[in-house]
Structure 1
Amino acid sequence: MATSYGSVQKTGKHSWKLTVSSGFDGSGKRIRHTKTVHVTSDNEEQQEKEARKQLALFIADIEKGQTATSGKMTLEQFFEYWQENYAIGRHAPKTISFNKGLFKRIKEALGHKRLDKIEPKHLLSFYKNLAEPGVKQDPNAKRRKKEKTPNSDTENQNKVSNTETPIINNTLSPNTIKKYHVFLHSLFEKAVQWNFMAYNPAERVEPPKTEKTVKKIYDEETTGKFLLLLEKEELKHKLMALLLISTGMRRGEMFGLQWHHVDFDKGTVKIEQASQYLPGKGIFIKETKNESSKRTITISTSIINLLHQYKAEQSAKRLKLGGTPDKGGKWQGAEKPEDDFIFTTWNGEKAHPDSVNTWLKDFITNNELPHITTPHSFRHMAATYLITSGTDIRTVAGKLGHANTTTTTVVYSHLLKSAEKETTDKMENFIQQATEKAKEKEKEKQKKQAK
């Protein structure tokens, strides 16, 4: 880096302009940095000394790369730049879509501001506004109201379900507000790294306090009732629910399953991809959430039997429709039956991942069961039952496809504490029983010696 040098110029009663030259850009144009500082002294000579001290600090920051060189870019412009040069190619499509959703509100409040003008006070004001009554919980609510819910196989299952994030007192929860903070922090972090900002304003703001929520799941009695009622359901929905409850697999992982992923002889299912839906893109297949999510899990004999029955059903539908179009049929699935997706529409197309949400909502309502928000609750049930039954945390993490046991420990810490307390009770019983047995033996020994 070229050596920087600068000058000071009085611009007001107590204000001085600092100008620093720092080499040349690619087109041969001199790079200049400017900054206005305010001094306290009324004496002009003393003022200049203070200004020159500030200039020395300013030069040091520039040479350390701690001063932005492109701060004139607005936050909205930087977001577009960040997406094009960083997010696309690194982030999953769903993550990109989620971040775009977050930025809708950020754009309204801060999008017009220059990066070098954004201060912690602006973020505090934004978070305060998000917490005010009247802020809609779901920024995509209007779009979702216009779209229909896929209720059956005969409907177009490429449409998203009519589910919205519930509005509680018409305000955003602290947990949701924190998502905005986390996203802004990561955005500004890149801006600092790329020399667009001098510092990260989100680091100087305390994130909104979040509320710890315990995952809502069915207890043993309610689960039993749920499973009993499930017996009367269509085979496809029965199989979906049992797969989710017994294995803890993610919804997208289940809809990403093809028949060649099932080993009927070994009783296993290989998870190596997931199905997702995004507006404008439709249903698509992607890699699993992370590398550790790729796993082979064992399934019970009863579910293997259900899969056999369901495969026979699907094969009959395929035969009835005359096979694939290249063979003169109407089946829209794969050329080879083993490459067909397990869960499809009536004509073999990939089923919409939200179709299980729609079925679950209707099933719970029609049978007057306690409300659970999404099929993801089944994943929490699987983890809960495994942990409370004494399964070690490493095995549970592997079953769920967590990257490491830390994730499992954090998410289910309340259960682990409960399980840990149970071990204390078990140890107490063991100690008491061992002591009592020792006492009995000692008494018998004393009796024998007395004789």
Structure 2
Amino acid sequence: MATIRKRSDSYQIRVSCGYDANGKQVTRTKSWKPKPNMTKKQIEKELNRQAVLFEEACMNGLVTSSVKFCDFIEQWKDGYAKKNYKLMTIDTMQHIMKRVNEELGHMRLSKISRRHIQAFINSLSDGNEKYKPLGPKTVRNYINYTSSIFEYAIRLNLVSNNPCSKIILPALKKVEREVYTLTEAQTFIDTLIQKAPIVFQTYFILAIYGGLRRGELCGLTWNDIDFENEIISIDKALYHISNKGSTLDTPKSASSNRSLKLPSEVFEFFRKLKIFYENEKCRLGSYWNDTEFVFKDEDGNSLSPLKPNRWLHRFCENENLKYVTPHSFRHLCASLMIDSGASVKTVQACLGHSDASTTLNIYAHSFAKAQAKASEAVASNFKLC
């Protein structure tokens, strides 16, 4: 409700608009001066009308904030991002916000229009003397975070609309994933078993058979390995955070918490790995850090999520194998499941996708091939004239 104060020959109308991210009350004020010939009753009536109109304008976000965008970004980080985003997402966000701040941070929050956002998006896509052009998917990450800031500002009644809406974004390009064929995968596995350390043998065999993300692989502990029932449980992930190193957190989404039944052969690698660690513990003595992680570095500490990719690149180069990213083994696992006739729901559950549509969108081509194969199987039973 608006409050009114008499100030010499004018009146101050004050409206409370809630609280900001730091718990400080947000208020808006307006001065109104009556005309000289107005009676006391007329002044009272018009003053109440002005107070009602001003309060409505404040509640509808029509009275804008003078806060700078760079300052509000910090409020958004503390009041929203740190409470709702995972550590890895916050780490990515920090890099994105640096560029957003450079382009928009000097402006008033309320003065940023759709035209400014569109110019920012275009500069991301086109690049400039300081920055190279960014791909369509990366540009979308920038606009998603920026949009989240404005949505938070709307909730605090600091602005009335989101200038990120209806922005023209660069078209997404369909990128063909580099995945091993069955023959290439078998060659890789054979070479891996013959020449790789047991740590990386186990890591990549599990990546192929289980389709785990790299953070999920590095976050596994021995408590997650059920040797008796041949099941692994995934309920955490290890992420690389800038200036912090490896940090344990929950997986990507709630549906990423899952259990996978795996073949006996995979558990043989786990057993060999356990024996290897026992030998290393005896060999290194006090220099060995006896952590519970399944995948360890040379000193017993957790294996950095960045290390398998670097190792794989060198290994493929040395052994004259085609290089694919560690994440491609997740796609290989999914493709093989689909090819074997697994349903969308089964693949979704195994990969830990939060929604079946995600599975369908990513592996649409594989499902189309499986459907075509099924149609051919039906057709093989009949003859058409």
Q: CA deviation at 1:71?
A: 1.9
| 2:81 corresponds to 1:81 | no
1:412 is aligned to 2:374? no
TM-score (norm 2): 0.84
Please say if residues 61 and 67 of structure 1, whose CA atoms lie closer than 8 Å, have aligned partners that are also in contact. no
**The 10-residue stretch of structure 1 (108-117 or 217-226) with the greater mean CA deviation from structure 2:** 217-226
Report whether the alignment pairs 1:360 with 2:340: no
Inter-partner Cα distance in structure 1 for 2:59 and 2:232: 52
Query: Using the alignment, how far apart are the partners of 2:370 and 2:25 within structure 1?
Result: 68
Structure 2 letter corresponding to 1:314: Y
Secondary structure of residue in 1 paired with 2:59: coil
TM-superposed CA distance for 1:237, in Å, is 1.1
Aligned match for 1:332, one of 289, 310, 322: 289
1:211 aligns with 2:192: no
CA contact (8 A) 2:211 2:351 kept: yes
**1:393 and 1:124, CA in 2 relative to 1: closer, same or farther beyond 3 A?**
same
Rounded to whole Å, the distance in 2 between the matches of 1:381 and 1:97 is 28
Q: Which amino acid aligns with 1:263?
A: D
Residue 297 of structure 1 corresponds to 260
Count of aligned pairs between the two proteins = 355
Q: Identity, % of aligned pairs?
A: 27
- Aligned twin of 2:298: 346
Q: Using the TM superposition, give the Cα deviation of residue 341 of structure 1 relative to its aligned residue in structure 2, in angstroms.
A: 1.1
Following superposition, which runs of at least 4 residues in structure 1 exceed 6 angstroms of deviation?
25-30
Secondary structure (helix, strand or coil) at the match of 1:211 reads: coil
Q: 1: distance between equivalents of 2:117 and 2:159? A: 15
Query: Equivalent residue for 1:278?
Result: 241
Match of 1:32 in 2: 29
Give, in whole Å, the separation in 1 of the partners of 2:150 and 2:221.
Answer: 41
Counterpart in 1 of 2:104? 110
Within 2, Cα distance between the matches of 1:414 and 1:92? 31
Q: CA deviation at 1:287?
A: 1.4
User: Residues 296, 188 of structure 1: CA spacing in aligned structure 2 closer, same or farther, 3 A cutoff?
Assistant: same
1:423 to 365, 374, 377: 374
Larger Rg: 1
Tell me how far apart the structure 2 counterparts of residues 283 and 236 of structure 1 sit (CA, whole Å). Answer: 18
**Pair 284,408 (structure 1): closer, same or farther in 2 beyond 3 Å:** same
1:241 to partner: Cα distance: 0.8
Q: What's the RMSD between the two structures over aligned residues? A: 2.9
Q: Deviations over 1:341-362 (max 9, x none)?
A: 1111222211211111111111
- Which structure 2 residues correspond to residues 9-408 of structure 1 after superposition, within 5 A? 21=13, 23=15, 31-32=28-29, 59=53, 62-63=56-57, 65-67=59-61, 69=63, 71-134=65-128, 170-231=132-193, 232-322=195-285, 329-334=286-291, 340-372=292-324, 374-408=325-359
Whether contact under 8 Å (2:17, 2:28) holds in the other structure is yes
Distance 1:429 1:132 in 2: 53
C-alpha distance in structure 2 between counterparts of 1:303 and 1:430, whole Å: 38
Distance change >3 Å, CA 24–CA 84, structure 1 → 2: closer
Gaps of 5+ in 1: 5-18, 35-54, 138-169, 323-328, 335-339, 437-451
Matched-pair contact (CA < 8 Å) for 2:15–2:58: no
TM-score (ref. length: structure 1): 0.72
